[in-house]
């Protein structure tokens, strides 16, 4: 290796990293070193010889090193622990060594001085900086902090390579003190058998970590010699891990012990990733890449290590509860602290990736119980924690956990495997919940519930999410992803499992299916059609946080459901059993799951695997023909998708007699595997009408070719035995009428007649399933209908939907009011008790749908008076949040006479007053106003941003107002683009605090091509402003740059 004469063996090294600010001052270098090459070979070893006897004694100056990474020469990028990424420019005379100090707000040269001083410079955090260099620092020596950062790097699925070394065991110590936390880690590192030896990269975010010390097997390591830190990566050189005399195994079976000591500041961590402080509680969020904000580690899911010991130390009075993964093995008072500090040690016997790591420290209350697993009889202690004032709202989460454990045993034979299962509710949380092994962390919005603060939908979501996180214990924790491109392997599978669990719990799979498909069409279909479109297994990403998407989760669940549809209940269970048998304790791929399903059922699923790599929503078209002489019905199916080859699509079909409406052929799954296929049904005595895609058997758009399509929909809406398709046919009729209204077609059309017949039949349906009745009366959402339009006019679509609602409400007013009063009387018989059974929830759901219709009639003063009085009465007389919130939702969109406005404002004031001290109810107060249908909606939202209870630092609060308003299409997209400008300003502010949140909010602007030129250009303008913002997070950059393509 040859060293440039210009560089003159300039060498920089330090035993610890130097934390620097964004502006620096030159100070005098300390100790001079000379680097003497022992060979002319580029791979030669070097001997570091000190020219001073006062050099730090911690450095062994006789030890040979295999690399020299941190010498300084002209125009070389310097990177000290990721804290500086400037360019050192050559001085007029020589390049002398330079140390920079965060003591000044401007970068100015120090006074001229030679660089041969022998006294070492102590560094912040300990250690000594050792520099060489001859000559004098002059005014021409500069650090170019203004150099533009490189563009974010895109990572590709095909880039995957296994680690050359893996962490086998982990021991950690957290010393939590206000203002800083010291994290000590001991990693047992071993070679990855069968993988070529190479450098080991430990991830560590530069803006989060200050490295205080690093050692290997008790010997301090030297930056630039044993390791290098460049940006967010600490590279351990392979020859450091495999020194002569240690053996090629890197320390034998026991491995090498790497110890690091870092300082982090959870109190200033507004990203809510890694260890951060939420209120008075410390907690962690490590998925996907948060552990690298805690310590240096191979922060990727294929490194599954056993965390033998995690010791947490904190103030005993402020943080009496200390929780970690696994089982608690030790605890007590810290010696010498006079009882003021305490500790707890947790041990997790199961190997896990770093994203499942968790600790919590806080003053928490809890509810607890136990559960005995079957058939092993393990007694598991269950405990759900929250801040003390919220303990009364934890019972539902605890009950849901028990239901989940029992359901997983009954359905899949899967038992829990630890002695304890803890859940902690956290107010500041980017996600819904996190499945950390044995210690789940939940957003308070998905944990806390009582009838006065939570709606029925809140209760259902909590039960579903508790189930989801528990089910991850096997589908995600025991078997995890090899890399983040395989995320749907755990999330799609677990969403499917929680959907089936919820369907069983509510005793109505048809209702659950309607809810899930509604959500899929409202969120995932638009994603499939937009610039962020990606397969359920993405091919690349810049920020993985952007791919926790509806595609990966919800469409991924639909792919799992198709396995179940194709293989049957028993076949799917066999596949699951084989999957766990093969891969328990491993990090695997989507292909491994497909192989288990195929092998367990002796099935060829190779073509089905195309679903993992195909983006966009496929379209399935069907054509029918009946041959009376042959008594045969022909159903021709064809498909269109972004896949070059045909997909394997299960299409569930039933046949109804065209006259009687009776089902003559029950549901049969047709496997569409070609571009076009014709299926025959013989032995039929008369013509039939097909019910196609029953149960929404595949995530596709279905297009028929009947010349009398609306009559077919009306017939199916009246007669289909499949609950989902009966509802779906009604939705198609509603959509057709709304689109006709947009085009100015008279309301007295044939479509209107079909709609009225379907509405009346549903309204007078004699059933105990009030929820299915309610969903049958609700008009399609504007977002789902917009996906069927080439160019979207949100204002016109909103008006047309409102006009159709008013037409129906006026035509059936007396019947709607009678049913509303009937339900009100029935519910009064319960007194003040809020029941949470399916019947009671269904009654409330149906009554509130009817209230919404009644309150839509407000064209005259008389109608406005009647509607506002009805809504106010329900608001005042209801005991539970479900009915109060529904009434308030109607009231907030009322205007006109002063009496009407007074009722609206009084209800809002009362709701806010009652919500004091309850952050989740305050969130509802913001939300209900953000979705109000008023001419000055944007101005009201702008005023709410200035409300003392609003903050951008809390994701729940931000979403409750900003995200909800961006979904209030008619007002967000109002003429002039003021809504876009408002959102752009909020996104810019949020990105400086929480990039995950800003990128999510930014998604509202990226589909500008779907709108008129005027609207689209205004949306694009805001994206361009964001793209030019400096700095911009990788999360937001990815969303904005894709949106501008």
pLDDT-derived band at 148, boundaries 50, 70, 90: low
pLDDT by residue (tens digit) across 456-474?
Answer: 999 999 999 999 999 999 9
Please report the pLDDT score of residue 141 as a whole number: 36
Q: Are 26 and 110 in contact (CB under 8 A)?
A: yes
pLDDT-derived band at 985, boundaries 50, 70, 90: very high
pLDDT-derived band at 746, boundaries 50, 70, 90: low
Rounded CA separation 874/995 (Å): 41
**Which residue stretches of 764-793 are H helix?**
770-777, 782-786
Half-sphere exposure of 458 (CA within 13 A, CB side): 25
Please report the pLDDT score of residue 607 as a whole number: 99
pLDDT-derived band at 150, boundaries 50, 70, 90: confident
Mean pLDDT along residues 950-965: 98
**Residue 393 β-bridge partners:** none
Query: Buried b vs exposed e over 345-363: b needs ≥16 C-beta within 10 Å?
Result: bbbbebbbbbbbbbbbbbe
pLDDT by residue (tens digit) across 401-460?
Answer: 999 999 999 999 999 999 999 999 999 999 999 999 999 999 999 999 999 999 999 999
Range from 237-246, 714-723, 966-975, 1021-1030 carrying the lowest mean pLDDT = 237-246
718 φ, ψ (degrees, to nearest 5):
-90, -30
Rounded CA separation 667/654 (Å): 4
Strands 128-131 and 12-14: antiparallel
Percent of the chain with pLDDT over 90: 82
pLDDT by residue (tens digit) across 566-575?
Answer: 999 999 999 9
Of 730, 731, 751, the residue nearest 740 (C-alpha): 751
pLDDT-derived band at 248, boundaries 50, 70, 90: very low
Please report the pLDDT score of residue 747 as a whole number: 59
Whether the pLDDT of residue 11 is over 70: the answer is no
Please report the pLDDT score of residue 151 as a whole number: 80
pLDDT by residue (tens digit) across 775-818?
Answer: 999 999 999 999 999 999 999 999 999 999 999 999 999 999 99
pLDDT by residue (tens digit) across 63-111?
Answer: 333 333 333 333 333 333 333 233 333 222 222 333 333 333 333 333 3
Residue recorded with tokens 């929250």: 386
Percent of the chain with pLDDT over 70: 84
- Compute the C-alpha angle 185/186/191, nearest 5°: 130
pLDDT by residue (tens digit) across 815-852?
Answer: 999 999 999 999 988 777 899 999 999 999 999 999 99
Indicate which residue of 469, 491, 500, 527 is catalytic.
Answer: 469
Q: Are 201 and 161 in contact (CB under 8 A)?
A: no
Of 172, 250, 184, 171, the residue nearest 214 (C-alpha): 184
Please report the pLDDT score of residue 609 as a whole number: 99
The average confidence (pLDDT) of the chain is: 88
Rounded CA separation 729/725 (Å): 6
Residue recorded with tokens 């009201």: 940
Task: Provide CB contacts within 8 A for 551, sequence distance 6+.
Answer: 524, 527, 528, 533, 534, 535, 536, 615
The neighbour count for residue 897, using CB atoms within 10 Å, is 13
Predicted TM-score of the model (pTM): 0.87
- Which domains, ranges and CATH numbers included, belong to the chain? 1-151 (no CATH), 167-245+255-362 (2.60.40.1730), 364-454+469-473 (3.30.2010.30), 479-612 (1.10.390.10), 915-1045 (1.25.50.10)
pLDDT by residue (tens digit) across 227-238?
Answer: 999 999 999 999
Whether the pLDDT of residue 251 is over 60: the answer is no
Q: Is 469 annotated as catalytic?
A: yes
Mean pLDDT along residues 886-901: 98
pLDDT by residue (tens digit) across 595-625?
Answer: 999 999 999 999 999 999 999 999 999 999 9
The neighbour count for residue 433, using CB atoms within 10 Å, is 22
- Compute the C-alpha angle 1023/1026/1028, nearest 5°: 115
pLDDT by residue (tens digit) across 638-647?
Answer: 999 999 999 9
pLDDT by residue (tens digit) across 665-718?
Answer: 999 999 999 999 999 999 999 999 999 999 999 999 999 988 789 999 999 999
Structure tokens at 780: 């399609």
Q: How far apart are the first and last CA of the chain?
A: 45
């Amino acid at each position: 290796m040859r060293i440039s004469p210009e560089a003159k063996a300039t060498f920089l090294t330090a035993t610890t990293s130097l934390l620097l600010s964004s502006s620096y001052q030159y100070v005098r270098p300390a100790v001079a070193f000379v680097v003497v090459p022992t060979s002319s070979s580029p791979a030669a070893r070097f001997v570091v010889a000190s020219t001073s006897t006062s050099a730090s004694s911690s450095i062994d100056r006789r030890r040979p090193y295999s690399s020299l990474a941190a010498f300084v020469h002209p125009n070389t990028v310097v990177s000290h622990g990721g804290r500086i990424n400037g360019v050192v420019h050559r001085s007029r005379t020589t390049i002398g060594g330079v140390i920079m100090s965060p003591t000044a707000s401007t970068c100015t040269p120090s006074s001229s001085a030679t660089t041969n001083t022998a006294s070492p410079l102590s560094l912040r955090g300990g250690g000594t900086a050792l520099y060489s260099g001859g000559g004098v620092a002059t005014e021409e020596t500069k650090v170019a902090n203004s150099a533009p950062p490189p563009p974010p790097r895109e990572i590709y699925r095909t880039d995957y390579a296994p680690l050359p070394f893996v962490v086998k065991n982990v021991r950690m110590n957290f010393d939590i003190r206000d203002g800083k936390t010291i994290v000590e880690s001991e990693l047992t590192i071993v070679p990855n058998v069968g993988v070529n030896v190479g450098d080991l990269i430990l991830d560590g975010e530069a803006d989060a970590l200050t490295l205080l010390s690093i050692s290997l097997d008790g010997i301090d390591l030297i930056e630039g010699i044993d390791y290098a830190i460049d940006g967010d990566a600490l590279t351990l050189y392979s020859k450091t891990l495999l020194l002569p005399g240690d053996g090629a195994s890197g320390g034998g079976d026991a491995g090498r012990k790497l110890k690091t000591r870092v300082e982090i500041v959870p109190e200033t961590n507004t990203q809510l990733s890694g260890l951060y402080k939420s209120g008075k509680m410390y907690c962690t969020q490590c998925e996907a890449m948060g552990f690298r904000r805690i310590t240096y580690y191979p922060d990727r899911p294929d490194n599954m290590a056993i965390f033998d010991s995690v010791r947490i130390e904190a103030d005993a009075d402020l943080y009496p509860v200390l929780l970690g993964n696994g089982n608690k093995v030790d605890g007590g008072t810290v010696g010498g602290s006079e009882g003021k500090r305490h500790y707890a040690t947790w041990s997790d016997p199961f190997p896990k990736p770093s994203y499942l790591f968790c600790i919590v420290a806080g003053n928490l209350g809890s509810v607890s119980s136990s559960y005995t697993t079957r058939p092993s009889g393990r007694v598991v202690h269950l405990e759900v924690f929250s801040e003390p004032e919220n303990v009364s709202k934890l019972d539902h989460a605890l009950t849901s956990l028990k239901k989940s454990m029992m359901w997983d045993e009954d359905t899949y034979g899967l038992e829990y495997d630890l002695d304890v299962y803890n859940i902690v509710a956290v107010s500041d949380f980017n996600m819904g919940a996190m499945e950390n092994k044995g210690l789940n962390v939940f957003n308070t919005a998905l944990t806390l519930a009582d009838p006065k603060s939570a709606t029925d939908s809140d209760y259902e979501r909590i039960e579903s999410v508790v189930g989801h996180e528990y089910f991850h214990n096997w589908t995600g924790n025991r078997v995890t992803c090899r890399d983040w491109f395989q995320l749907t392997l755990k999330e799609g599978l677990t969403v499917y499992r929680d959907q089936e669990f919820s369907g069983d719990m509510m005793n109505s799979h048809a209702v659950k299916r309607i809810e899930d498909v509604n959500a899929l069409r409202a969120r995932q279909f638009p994603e499939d059609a937009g610039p962020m479109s990606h397969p359920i297994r993405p091919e690349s990403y810049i920020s993985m946080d952007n791919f926790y998407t509806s595609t990966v989760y919800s469409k991924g669940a639909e792919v799992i459901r198709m396995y179940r549809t194709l293989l049957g209940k028993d076949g799917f269970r066999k596949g699951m059993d084989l999957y766990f048998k093969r891969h328990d304790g491993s990090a695997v791929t989507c292909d491994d799951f497909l192989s288990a399903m195929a092998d367990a059922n002796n099935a060829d699923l190779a073509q089905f695997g195309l679903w993992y790599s195909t983006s966009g929503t496929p379209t399935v078209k069907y054509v029918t023909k009946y041959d009376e002489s042959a008594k045969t019905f022909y159903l021709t199916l064809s498909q269109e998708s972004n896949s070059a080859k045909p997909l394997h699509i299960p299409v569930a079909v039933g046949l109804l007699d065209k006259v009687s409406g009776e089902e003559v052929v029950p549901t049969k799954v047709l496997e569409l595997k070609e571009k076009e296929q014709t299926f025959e049904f013989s032995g039929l005595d008369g013509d039939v009408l097909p019910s196609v895609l029953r149960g929404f058997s595949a995530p596709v758009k279905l297009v028929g070719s009947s010349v009398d399509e609306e009559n077919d929909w009306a017939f199916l809406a009246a007669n289909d035995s499949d609950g989902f398709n009966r509802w779906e046919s009604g939705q198609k009729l509603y959509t057709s009428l709304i689109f006709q209204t947009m085009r100015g077609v008279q309301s007295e059309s044939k479509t209107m007649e079909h709609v009225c017949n379907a509405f009346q039949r549903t309204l007078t349906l004699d059933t105990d399933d009030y929820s299915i009745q309610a969903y049958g009366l609700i008009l399609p959402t504007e977002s789902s209908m917009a996906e069927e339009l080439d160019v979207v006019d949100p204002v016109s679509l909103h008006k047309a939907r409102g006009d159709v609602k008013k037409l129906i409400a006026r035509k059936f007013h007396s019947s709607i009011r009678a049913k509303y009063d009937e339900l009100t009387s029935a519910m009064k018989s319960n007194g003040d008790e809020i029941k949470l059974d399916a019947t009671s929830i269904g009654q409330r759901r149906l009554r509130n749908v009817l209230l919404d219709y009644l309150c839509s009639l407000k064209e005259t003063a008389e109608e406005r008076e009647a509607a506002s009085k009805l809504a106010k009465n329900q608001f005042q007389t209801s005991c539970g949040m479900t009915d109060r919130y529904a009434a308030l939702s109607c009231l907030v969109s009322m205007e006109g006479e002063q009496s009407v406005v007074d009722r609206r404002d009084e209800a809002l004031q009362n709701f806010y007053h009652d919500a004091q001290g309850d952050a989740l109810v305050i969130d509802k107060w913001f939300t209900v106003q953000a979705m109000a249908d008023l001419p000055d909606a944007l101005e009201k939202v702008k005023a709410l941003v200035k409300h003392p209870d609003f903050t951008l630092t809390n994701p729940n609060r931000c979403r409750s107002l900003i995200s909800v308003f961006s979904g209030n299409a008619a007002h967000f997209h109002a003429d002039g683009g003021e809504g876009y400008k408002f959102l752009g300003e909020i996104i810019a502010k949020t990105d400086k605090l929480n990039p995950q949140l800003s990128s999510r909010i930014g998604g509202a602007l990226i589909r500008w091509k779907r709108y008129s030129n005027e609207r689209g250009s205004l949306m694009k303008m805001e994206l361009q402003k964001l793209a030019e913002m400096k700095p911009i997070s990788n999360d937001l950059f990815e969303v904005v740059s894709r949106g501008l393509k």
